[in-house]
Structure 1
Amino acid sequence: ARKTHGILFKMKSNTHLSISLLLLATVSLLVQHTTATCGVCGSNGIACISETQFNICFNNQPDNTTAHECPNGGTCTSLLMKCSDAANAPADCTPTTDITCGCAADSPTFVCTSRTTFAQCNGATVVTTGTCPTGLTCAAQRGGDICVDACYLDGEIECDLDAPAS
């Protein structure tokens, strides 16, 4: 009877250890964090384009034709759960405090005024404004076309605003 008791104790200990390791592995998967970049497809099949919006990825390329909104005000992340409560996971795309959107005294000819709009400047004066075609992102500072497919931006959004500041 004593030998049976020892075997049962050992089995019970192994079961507790297995359950603990399984829980730890599950939690690790849920909170895994990859190096996330705005506009770049993550291992979860989406590319965050703002704190709350994302594009679905096909063949590791974001489909820029439709921006999807995280439900219930969720935060877009590269985590397995895609959209999370902001308290649980940081957003992959956070607006930076040094964003320069719009015309200023030393502005180049064209500047972005949001992710999809731009302005022609004469110093700090707006000469005219425009909107990028559907699916394209403003990239006035990179040279060449003012509006480009986001895959050419390497996650570097010039003006990470939903709409121009009023």
Structure 2
Amino acid sequence: MQNVQILRNLCLFAAICSMAGLVLGACNSCQSNGVKCLNETYFEYCSDNVETGQVQACPDEQVCTEYEAFCMPSGATPACPDSEADGSCESCDGTNLFVCTSRTTFQMCSGTNLTGTPSSCKANTVCSIRSGKFCVDSCEVTGNLECDKTA
């Protein structure tokens, strides 16, 4: 009888531990390290004393993690893998002249179709058609990126 109770408690403990792993690594939610990972490489600070909406990028070859040093070398497990991030991008809908096709590229629209080849933003900038500048420094982005996909 006592063995059954021990086994039941172990199963409950294992279930709780497996759920904790799912909750810790979530996209767009504030983590204990003071950031929320938007995808594998971009994050926002989520401290009460830091203005919201400031999208930042981890250095090259690093990913956003749930650890205290939140940008870690690429071998680390990202808190928000690109496969789970909301990578939605606007499409040509007949009213826009340009759309972001990735975090760092944009393309001209012809009606509801993309035309020509994608253009690239300079290093350390992200696509922001809404800004009227095509590409802006990541600290100029307010809210979410217009297109959160890798190029």
Aligned position for 1:17: none
- How far apart are the structure 1 equivalents of 2:93 and 2:142? 28
Which structure has greater strand proportion? 2
Aligned position for 1:4: none
Which structure has greater helix proportion? 1
Query: What is the aligned-residue identity percentage?
Result: 27
Deviation at 1:162, TM superposition (A): 1.2
Aligned position for 1:145: 133
Deviation at 1:48, TM superposition (A): 5.5
* C-alpha contact (below 8 Å) 1:115/1:162 kept by paired residues: yes
* C-alpha contact (below 8 Å) 2:94/2:110 kept by paired residues: no
Match of 1:131 among 117, 120, 129: 120
Deviation at 1:143, TM superposition (A): 3.3
**Structure 2 stretches of 5 or more lacking a match?**
1-30, 48-54
Deviation sequence 1:11-55 (CA, Å, 0-9, x none): xxxxxxxxxxxxxxxxxxxx8242526454678xxx763xxxx13
Asked if 1:100 corresponds to 2:92, the answer is: no
Aligned position for 1:61: none
When the two structures are superposed, what TM-score results if normalisation uses the length of structure 1? 0.49
Change (3 A) 1:39 1:155: farther
**Structure 1 stretches of 5 or more lacking a match?**
1-30, 56-67
* C-alpha contact (below 8 Å) 1:42/1:78 kept by paired residues: no
- How far apart are the structure 2 equivalents of 1:108 and 1:124? 9
Aligned position for 2:102: 114
Q: Which amino acid aligns with 2:96?
A: P
Q: Which runs of structure 1 show a deviation greater than 3 angstroms over 4 or more consecutive aligned residues?
A: 37-43, 103-107
User: How much is the aligned-residue C-alpha RMSD, in angstroms?
Assistant: 3.2
Query: How many residue pairs end up in the alignment?
Result: 104
Deviation at 1:154, TM superposition (A): 3.2
Match of 1:85 among 77, 82, 88: 77
